[in-house]
Every structure is written in structure tokens, then in C-alpha cells.
Structure 1
């Protein structure tokens, strides 16, 4: 009887699953792209090449087992078909990512390099807000450098001759692409691998032009000309934002304005994506439709929606190319083109399948973009918007006939509701990548989005058009006033107490729960969608309970931060660079002014070491931190190490230095990168745990080790016998 009861329960569950999938059949194609993305994510999450191959093999085995069980596709039930296609797309995503990582392979620089860099300029970017020019250079093969390097040049040393195609020569200092400074932090080495950059650095003097180049490509020249023209018409910080909206050139935005936009939740306005592309395409579509409708013979001879869609498509493609064809712009353009196609065919343009098609197009070409904040923020926002406005209650509300006051109130309420949903949707992504998220973004976006869409961008487009006949100045003035208002909103919200919340980074598993829950909520339509709240709630609880690390050490061992029990952030070095300080503050979820370790009452320091005691619960930990590279008597050092629980130093420490629990010196840090120490559960997180087994880490470690062995062999060969 018990076995019959269990069989009955399984049968009912199986029937219920089939009915649910049948009710959600219109949403099933979207999950094909989700499975493809899961394969890409698996490649990043699993270390080494063996684990992704195991995923591919097991997924293929599962798909073949299903095929063997049902003998043919037509014999498969709906649930089995979904599982079969999902497994194949998982394989396709993982294999695509592995192929992409190998195809772009370019070994990084093995060790710091100083000398005369000669090579051909491939690309140029002017960053006036930072007083520098950024060049991508292909070095001469005889130098033995990586295939492509990125160098910065002070703006005062710039020359009009430094254009793509020019062959130049200058003294340069190059470094390998930087790995993440701390666990969970930003890894430029990962991005550089896929951008095929083998080194970064600076040019130390004015380059000599050995052979002039061209003026660059037509689009690059046009982009540079439009950007310079706009900044000449709109002075100050407003000009930098105006240039960004038109060309995607963010080099002229002041850092304080960019930070205010990030803190207020308005940074998406500075990234050419859905808002900008949609506004342009929509304006061109509507304008073309209205103008052609004024001529009855044309209206009778042509299908005006199709013509207007074609004009909008051309405008969107041209804008995408002009702004540099970044991933969010391509995604937005692809989705907008699908919307135009739906409008031209008389189909519903608001559909998650359009978003999925745009995402799939991007992931096929740049699968690594899935792991970047730009892709995640962009697609999460537009998916949330479509899910909200596709809900039957929202559709009915939008279709309700109201007076002008009611329509205005409804638009305001929908704008606020949309902004609030976007704020909560993007918060886990911002916390995962940056350790912080804005709290008042919904209110800021209520003002900023309409201001940008309906005032700033139309004024800017009209001013550019009227500049062709020399009468655009009044519209540039109005555009500047509107952008200054946008900047004021950003600063006002960013300066409000509590505008930014900081949390310790909780790691990939917690973020994965957020993603799974969010996709389940937004991509299904029946009541089963609310089950997505379960992983979201679990992830929220885990993120709220995630403790901040007690000690943080950067990969070079030069920067150490202590999350002191009194709430202070204590730094080993009084002069800590902006990037290191930002990394340490974000990892510690600390907002304020840090203090130097010699000024903290809990530490005792001399020229070589600092000693301090940290308490965690009922346990005390004695910590010894190195400050210099000067020679220390080994016997005294060994005795100090024996009295300590933790010893940290950016120098090599002898084997006689044996603390009671953990030692991190130059040898260990070279192998594991930066680290974070949690005293309560005596846990150590390292950069290597998130990156080892992937090419940007493994190749860098192998080349660094080979360079050291070569240098050691050279020293031994030159040593007098």
C-alpha cells in the first residue's frame, strides 16, 4: 500500500508539472537562453579545464539518456523536451565560453618592464577629465612584448599626430595586467585577457612619431569631432555628460559628477544602452510616421509603419556604431530592432522573448560579458520593466480610460513603481560587484529619466541638427541648463545621509541565489512564479548576515587593513593610493576616513613591524604585521613569530618564522594573491579561490614563475666562482 501511495503521489506531481509547463509554454523559449547563460557561468565558476569538460560530458550523457529513453523527439513529453533542450544549451554555453577563452589567448607580460616602446597605435581615447590620453599600441616584435599593450600619456604631452596607424617611440613603464587586489574585487587581468591586452603602463615622455598615421576610421573621426564640438558648445561638467549622451565618450565627465551619478542610482544614464537607443529609435519612428502621413499619396502607396520601422532601424544602427558599439548598446539595438519588427508586423512588442533574443545575440559573440556588471545591470533592468508592464494588472490599469489628471497621476505612479522595481532588482548586482548600492535611486530616476528622455536628448539632437545652419546656440544653452539640473539632482541625492548602503561581499553562491530567484519571478507568468521569492529571501538573509573581514591584505603585501573592533578602518600605510584605499574600504564595508596604524591606540609599532591584538568573541588573536624590507635578526623574528597567531608581511619570511595559526609572506601572496581573514571562524578567503584554473590567472602565474627562474639562473651564472 505504501508503494502504491508513493506511486500515486509521483504520478500526480508528474501530471501537475506537465500542466504547469503547458500553461507556461509561451515562456519556455526564454529559458533556452537562460540555460545557455548557465553554461557560460559554469565555465567561470568551475576551476580548471577539467571541471567544465565534466559538465559538458555529464550534460551530453543526460541528453542522450533522455533520447534513448523516449527513442525520438516526437515521443518525448513536454517536460522531457525542456530538459533535453536545456542540457544541450548548457553544453553549448560552456563550450562557447571555453572556445572564446582559447581564441583570444594572449600571454600577459611576465614582469615589470622599463625601456623604449616602439610600435603602431591601434586605438586612441582622450580622457580630458583625467588629463590623459589612452593608447592601444602594438609593439614591435623585436621588443619581445605582448601583442597589444595599453598605455596612458599625460594630456600635456599629447600630439595631433598620435592617431591610429602612426608608428611611435617613447620611454615607457609597463606592468602585467593587475589581478584582483582582494577576494571578490575587480580583476582587470580577466578583462584584459578577453580584450587581448598583455600589459598596461605609462609613456614617460612625448612620443616621437616615426611614421604618421591616418586620421582614424570615419566613425572614430566623426565621434571625436562631435564630442569636441559638443564640449565647445556646452562648457563645464554639463558638456562632458552631453558628449557622453551623443557619442558614448565618457572621458570628459568629471570624477565627482560620475561618483554622484553612481551613488544616486543614475549611472545607467551615462552608459549608452536601452534608454538612449529606445529614445532615439522611438523619436525617429514616430517622426517618420507623422511626416509621411502628411502626404496622402505616399500613405496610400507605402505601408507607413514598415517605412518608419526601417528609418528607426537605420537610426539605431548608426547610433550604435557612432557610440562605439559597446555590449549594452548592441543589446539595446538588437532588442529595439526586434520591437520595430514586431510593430511593423502588428505583433505585441513587449515580450521577454525579445529580451532573450537580444541577450542571445550578445552572448554568442561576447559570452564573457555575462559576468560583467554592464550586461547584468542592463538586462536585469529591462527584464524587470517588461515583466512589470506585461503583468495583467498593469495592462488593465494602463488601458483604463482616465481624464488628463488621472493619466498624469498614473504616469507618475508607473514611473515611481518602475524605478522602485529597478532599484530592488539592481541592488543585488551592485552589492555583488561593488559592495554598495544606492537607496534613493527610485526617487532620483523619477526626475532624471523623464528629464533625460524628453528634454535633454531631444534638445541635444535639435541643437546638433540646427548647427548645420548655424542657429543651434539657444538650444545648446537650454540643453546645458537641463544637464546642470540633472547633475544637481545627482549630487543632492548622493549627499543625502544614508544614500548609499555598504555591505561585505557575500560571494558567488549568494549572488547565484539572487539570480535564480529573480529569473524565476520575472520569466514565468503563472502563480508558480512567486516561488522565486524563496531563493531571494534566503540570499537576502545570507547577505545581511555576511560578516566583514577582520584583516585584508592586497596581493603585493604592501597594503594591509584592519577592521578594528571600535569601528575604525586601520591602514598599514599612511599614504595609500586611491585604488587600494577604495578596494580596502569596499571589502570592509567601511565609509569614512581611515586612520594609520601608528595612530591607532590598539597597535604598537616600530620601523619594521606592528603588533596588535584583535578580539573575536572570547578568543584573542595576536597579529604581527611587517612594515619594511630591512634585514631583521632571524632569532628575534622567530621569537616574535612564536608569540603571534598571525604574521603578515610583504617580504620573504624565513622558515623559522612559525606563528601559531597563519603566515602570509611574499612567497604565499605570490601564489594566492590578496586575502581576507575572518577571525570568528578562522577562515581565509583568497583571490586564487575565485580565479585559479582560469587562463588569465594560470598563464600569469606560470610566466611569472618562469621569469623568476630565469633571473635566478642568470644571477647564479654571473656569480664569481
Structure 2
């Protein structure tokens, strides 16, 4: 048995690089899943353990050395995540602020409600010491003001509302607090007053200069190409999506074409591939150059430079950084006379991204991007065994498009379903009708437009871009409008994606017949997903909305208000409908501002407003009282008023096996971490039992 294990481990030595980002990812994922922030001493001990393991790896048999190194990489991954968390530490607003806001524009985009949104740094707030003011704030601008009125580097003043970044809409949901922490975003809010420019644009630093250049190009493209195609072209060329309408975005998502908006592997690959081909074959036309110069390597250098410029121009999000890193590794392989498209190149790109931005691991961009790339490289590497070169070129071209679209769609589908709770049933058709045109027309036309821009003739390239983008938008809207184009699925529990990912990676990276053991991980993930259940009752973190799961779906306590939270709940249930429709479902009783819901006999009361709360007789027979006001108490039930909800975050209520009511808080699930430390220390879930005699004094003591 020992000899068999050694042989199996030795067989992996040619593919160990692929496991390096996997081990780093395990460590990073472990760090982010901790229920409490580890202190410095823990990581010092971890460093000592890693050093000991590294020394042991040099002393044990060769077959077992990678096992010790894998543990070292797991510890390194956790250390990278901890270092990144501490390095981006910045002040976070701890209260609701209303007053003057002064700051410099460093980003411009649109909110989910289609309002212009400004990210400001160099922030000044009234009556606040500089050491407490957030480094960055993000303000949505409501009213008639247009995005074109703002310029990168503008020093602006406005009167607005600011709040700390909100926690998850439900326990275990997307944690915007953590997302904002790594963006150094200390407050978010809105303004309804005019935004005034205090000073001319201040563009110190290359980042702001690049941002200003991006916006100038974006505005110029939109001026030359009015409408949605111009906004689409601006997104492709500069990464600026601020002009994209919500209807167009929804159509692209429903048809699985939203990836065409992101400057990712497709765009970077098409651009650098086009430049590589043009330079290489252009030089080949010159006999003296073709005979004596290494045109292939010259073309690789030119493509690498263009790719780096495109990365800077795009704003450098995770997908673009991953794409450029992947392309750079491939082009460097060309310079070193190595094979360019390998899993080793994908692994190196993943290592670089995880080392620079460990938090990217938890985001859909990183997961879907690397899932598609890894699957494509693995499949096409396998297809090299078949003698496809014997087929006609046009057949090979069609097969390549069909296979690549199908493989990328299948690889990203589970991650898209887990994060966005939807599956595009006709996405393959839409991609087959759109992606080839992106490669043969849109991206070459964009390069042509850039080349002709110095001569004032870039409208020629934009005209061809317009033709291609009109077709893509037509396909997106047509496919999105088909019956059954979009399917919905409920959100999985937290263990599903890690188990699924590790199973698929084992299937791809492991050498030998044992690789098929990865199918067991995939099967376990599928079973876990099918057995995942949704909370019986959810409560918003401001106490204004509750949602009770029933036979018709989740019934909401009101038809309007808290629409963002309501939409997330319904999407995670796998049944997104209008809030008005969900509010008409049975299961919740409304009596003015008092709403009653039952969870298997447990009565939950939600009260809105001071007047309704004051007229309430104790708890009116309820076991749990929810209020959007501060309650003086005491009451003979468990009370979650506004003050307590700000500390606990959103609530989820479910029955245990013993029919006890278990109340779980979002803060407890997220753990005590730097990004939510303003909420205090998270307490354990509250369990209400029918077998206990619970006096009002006992309940009040527990809540306190």
C-alpha cells in the first residue's frame, strides 16, 4: 500500500504547479471563513509552523515532500489574506451623517437604481476630525444632474446623507461590508441637492491621469456613436459602463452575454492576438526582415505592450488583471520558445492575482474567469490527441467556436447560478451568434479606430464597431425575450462552491485514474445544493421588512420600500418576482403598521413607527417583536428594536429538530472581523424553546 501511494504521488510531479494556487486559495478561503479575526500572535506561530514544514519537506522522501509544501502554501495563503486586510485598513463611518461633503472625484459609475454615482477621496466632513473621516465615500446623485457634468479630479461639494457600509441582506449573504473594506470605502450615501464644483480638476498621480484619459475616450466614443451601441463600445474600450441602460444590461445577463461587457480574457485575447498576427504577418511581407529577424518574438513584444496599455486604460479590475497576466505568461512563453497555452500558465496567473488581491478569491469575477480559462485549456489540451488538423479549416473554426462557447458556458454556469441565482438556457445560442463577430469585426474595428484617431479618422473604425455591436444587442434582446430564456435557482449553502470547485480541480489537475475521484466531490456538492433550504423568516437590518416563506413563495410585509433587500431575498429563494406580487401572498397578516407572521406556531410581530409601538400591549402575545424604532422595554418576549438590529444585522428564523425557534444574526455568521467591528461583538444564535418557562426578566437579560 505504501509503495502504491508513493507511486501515485510521484506521478504528480509533472503537474504540481497547478496545485499551488489551489493551496493558496484554501488558505485564503479559510481565513475569510473564520468566525473571529486572528491576532498577530497566531500568524507568528503559523510562520514558525510553515518554516518547520518547509524544512521537513527537504528531509522526507521525495514523494511526500509536496504534501508538506502544500501545507506551507495554505499557511502562506492565510497570511497573504491577513496582510492584505491590515494593509487596506482605513476609517469607517460609525454613525449616520447628514451635512456638507467635500471630496475629489476618483471614480464615476451608476448605481443599481441607474443613478449617477461618484466615488470621492480627500474627503472632508463637517465637525469631524481628519483621523475619523473615511478615506473614500461613494455618493449616488439623484435629480437631473448628468454624469457628463463631472470630471475626474474635480473637487466637489454637496449636502448629503452618509451611512456605514451595510452588512449582508440576510445571514450568510453577500457581505458588502467586507467588499467595501478592501475598496477602502468608509461610507456610502446619496444627495438630492446640486453638486457644486469648488476647484478645477486636480490630477496628480498616474492613476487619476489614466482615469481622466479613460473618461475622455469614453465621452468621445459616445459622442461619435450615440445610443446603446456607443455605451457598449465605451465599455469595451475603456471599461466605463456608466452609460449602459439597465434594460440593456438585463438583456445581456439573461442571454449570457454580459461577459462581453467586462474587459476580460476574451477582449484581451482578441486584442493581443490581433496585434500579434498583424505584426508577425506584416513583418513577414518584408523579405529581409522575415529572413533575419525573429518576427514571432517581435510580435509577442508588441502584443505584450498593447496588452499592458489596454490594462491601464480599462481601470484594472480583477478580470482584466487576470486576463493580462494570463496573456503575459503566454507571450513570455513565446519569447522563451515554450508552449504558450498550458495549465501552468493559468496557475501562474492565478498565483499572481491571489498574491496581489487575496480577497478576489471570494468574488464571482475571479471564480468565473478562472473557471472558464481552466476548463478551456484542459479541454483543448485533451483535444490535441485527436488529429483535427485533417478536417477542413472552416470546420475546425466552427468546431472551435462551438466547443469554446459550450465549455466556457458549462464551466461558469454553477458559479453564475450560485452568485446570481439564474441560468441562461439559451446562452450557448447567443454566444455562437455573437462571440465570432466580436473577434472578426468588433475588436479589429476598435484597433483600427485607435490607429486612425491621430488623423481624425477614427469614425471609420467606430462605424464598423457600430455594425457589430448592433447585431450583438439585437441577439441579446431577442434571446432574452424568448420563452423560458432564464431559469432561477435558490442560493446554495456555504460549503457547496468550495466542494464543487475542489472536485472539479481534482478532476482536471490530478494525474492518473484517481482523478475521477473528483466526480465524488461534484456529486456531493450537487446533493448539498439540492438539500439546501431557505430560512423560514427573514428580517431586514432596519426592521422595516420581514419575509415569510410559504407554499406560494416568500410573502413580504409591504409592497414598497426596502426594495433592494426584498429583491435579494426573492432572488436567493430562486423565485424573483415584483415586490408588489410578493406582498400579496398569504401567510402574513397586516393590521395597519402591525404585521404578524407565524413560524410553526411561533408568533413574530413587526411594528413600524413610534405610535404603533407605543400602543402595543406588551408583545401582544408574540414570541418575537421586531421594530424599526428604539424600544424602551422591558417586554415579555425577545425584542429586536432598531438599536439592537444595527448591532446584529439582518435576522433569519428557522425551526430546529426539536421545534425550537432559532434566531441567527448576520453578524454572527459573518464573525467578528475588522470590516464589521463597529457593530461590536457578535453573540450566538438565540434559541426559544416551548419547554422552558421564560419570564420577561430572563428574556430581557438574554437580549442584553
Of the three residues 163, 167, 170, the one matched with 1:179 is 167
CA distance 1:509–1:291, change in 2 (3 Å): same
Distance 1:255-1:193 versus aligned 2 partners, 3 A rule: same
Cα distance change of structure 1 residues 272 and 632 upon mapping to structure 2, 3 Å threshold: closer
Question: Is the CA contact 1:122–1:138 (under 8 Å) kept in the aligned structure 2?
Answer: no
Tell me which of 388, 395, 417 is aligned to 2:384.
395
TM-score for both structures, normalised by structure 2:
0.88
Report how far residue 501 of structure 1 moved: 2.9
Could you say which residue in structure 2 is the equivalent of 1:672?
648
Q: In the alignment, which of 480, 500, 503 is matched to residue 517 of structure 1?
A: 503
Pairwise CA distance, 1:365: 1.4
Q: What is the aligned partner in structure 2 of residue 717 from structure 1?
A: none
**Please, which moves more after superposition, 288-297 or 662-671?**
662-671
| Residues 298 and 279 of structure 1: CA distance in aligned 2, closer, same or farther (over 3 Å) | same
1:85 CA displacement: 1.0
Query: Which runs of at least 4 in structure 1 moved beyond 6 Å after TM superposition?
Result: none
Q: Aligned to 1:640, what secondary structure does the other structure show?
A: coil
Checking the alignment, whether the CA contact within 8 Å between 1:553 and 1:674 is kept in structure 2 is yes
1:639 is displaced (CA, Å) by: 4.1
Q: Note if contact 1:32-1:85 (Cα within 8 Å) is conserved in structure 2.
A: no
Question: Equivalents in 1 of 2:576, 2:193: separation in Å?
Answer: 38
Say if 2:67 is the partner of 1:83.
yes
SS for the counterpart of 1:636 is coil
Task: Report the CA distance between 1:59 and its aligned residue.
Answer: 8.3
Aligned length: 671
Aligned partner of 1:628 in structure 2 is: 609
| Structure 1 equivalent of residue 548 of structure 2 | 562
Q: State which drifts further: 315-324 or 265-274.
A: 265-274
1:648 aligns with 2:637: no
- C-alpha separation between the residues in 2 aligned to 1:481 and 1:160? 26
Task: Check conservation: 2:152, 2:212, Cα contact below 8 A.
Answer: no
8 Å Cα contact 1:153/1:203 also seen in 2 = yes
Structure with higher helix content: 1
1:241-280: CA deviation from partner (whole Å, max 9, x where unpaired)? 1111111111111111112222222221111111111111
Q: CA deviation at 1:81?
A: 0.9
How much does 1:159 deviate?
8.9
Matched, 1:39 2:22: no
Indicate whether 1:148 and 2:124 are aligned.
no
Deviates more, 1:48-57 or 1:510-519: 48-57
In structure 2, relative to structure 1, the CA distance for the partners of 1:235 and 1:174 (3 Å cut) is same
Report deviation, 1:470.
4.3
Structure 1 residues 371 and 196: CA distance shift in structure 2, 3 A: same
Deviation at 1:568, TM superposition (A): 4.0
Q: List runs of 5+ in structure 2 lacking aligned partners.
A: 683-704
- Residue aligned with 2:386, SS: helix
The 1:481–1:304 alpha-carbon spacing in structure 2 relative to 1, beyond 3 Å, is: closer
Q: Structure 1 residues 331 and 525 mapped into 2: Cα distance closer, same or farther (>3 Å)?
A: same
Residue 223 of structure 2 is aligned to residue 232 of structure 1? yes
**Is 1:220 aligned to 2:216, yes or no?**
no
Secondary structure in 2 aligned to 1:149? Answer: strand
Q: State the TM-score, normalizing by the size of structure 1.
A: 0.86
Q: Counterparts in 2 of 1:427-506, with a 5 A limit?
A: 427-473=413-459, 475-506=461-492
Aligned counterparts, 1:31-180, within 5 A: 31-50=19-38, 57=45, 61=49, 64=52, 67=55, 73=58, 75-119=59-103, 121-125=104-108, 127=110, 130=114, 132-140=116-124, 143-144=128-129, 145-154=133-142, 156-157=144-145, 162-180=150-168
C-alpha RMSD of matched pairs (Å): 2.9
Query: Equivalent residue for 1:580?
Result: 565
Distance 2:154 2:580 in 1: 47
User: 1:593 Cα shift?
Assistant: 3.3
What is the CA distance between 1:155 and its match in structure 2? 7.4
1:277 equivalent in structure 2? 268
CA gap of 1:578–1:412, structure 2 versus 1, over 3 A, is farther
Pick the aligned partner of 1:591 from 576, 592, 596. Answer: 576
Partner of 1:610: 595
> What's the CA shift for 1:548?
2.7
SS in 1 for 2:64: helix
Q: Does 1:542 align with 2:523?
A: no
Instruction: Return the offset for 1:161.
Output: 8.2
Q: Per the alignment, in what secondary structure is the counterpart of residue 297 of structure 1?
A: helix
Rounded Cα–Cα distance in structure 1 between residues aligned with 2:601 and 2:401: 52
Distance 1:193 1:239 in 2: 33
C-alpha separation between the residues in 2 aligned to 1:471 and 1:122? 31
Partner of 1:420: 406
- State the shift of 1:492 in Å: 2.6
Is the contact between residue 625 and residue 639 of structure 2 (CA under 8 Å) also seen in structure 1?
yes
Decide which moves more: 446-455 or 619-628.
Answer: 619-628
How far 1:210 moved relative to its partner?
Answer: 3.5
Range that drifts further, 461-470 or 539-548: 461-470
Question: Does the CA-based 8 Å contact 1:175-1:200 persist in structure 2?
Answer: yes
Q: Distance in 1 between matches of 2:497 and 2:639?
A: 31
Distance 2:42 2:478 in 1: 52
Cα distance 1:235–1:122, how it changes in 2: closer, same or farther (>3 A)? closer
Distance 2:55 2:450 in 1: 60
2:250 is equivalent to residue 259 of structure 1:
yes
Q: 1:350 aligns to what SS in structure 2?
A: coil
Farther off after superposition, 143-152 or 280-289: 143-152
- Checking the alignment, whether the CA contact within 8 Å between 1:184 and 1:505 is kept in structure 2 is no
The corresponding residue for 1:4 is none
Shift of 1:520: 0.9
Segment of structure 1 superposing worse, 171-180 or 648-657:
648-657
8 A contact 2:593–2:609 mirrored in 1:
yes
Q: How does 1:658-697 map to 2 (within 5 A)?
A: 658-659=636-637, 664-679=640-655, 681=657, 682-697=661-676
Look up the SS of the partner of 2:621 in the other structure.
helix
How far off its partner does 1:52 sit? 9.5
Return the offset for 1:195: 1.2
Q: 1:91 & 1:385 partners in 2: Cα distance?
A: 30
Counterpart of 2:687 in structure 1 is none
1:140 aligns to what SS in structure 2? Answer: strand
Change over 3 Å in CA distance of 1:428–1:52 after alignment to 2: farther
Q: 1:380 aligns with which of 346, 371, 375?
A: 371
| CA offset digits 1:542-598 (Å, max 9, x no partner) | 112222322221111112122222x14322122134422321211322133344787
Task: Check the 8 A contact 2:143/2:192 in 1, yes or no.
Answer: no
Q: For 2:284 and 2:192, locate their aligned partners in 1 and report how far apart those are by CA, in whole Å.
A: 61
1:292-350 deviation digits (Å, cap 9, x = unpaired): 11112222332111111110111100111111122211111111111112223322112
Task: Work out whether residues 105 and 155 of structure 2, in 8 Å CA contact, stay in contact via their aligned partners in 1.
Answer: no
C-alpha displacement of 1:479: 2.2
- Unaligned segments of structure 1, at least 5 residues: 1-11, 704-721
Residue 604 of structure 1 aligns to a residue whose secondary structure is strand
Matches of 2:506 and 2:470 in 1, distance apart? 40
- Secondary structure of 1:589's aligned partner: coil
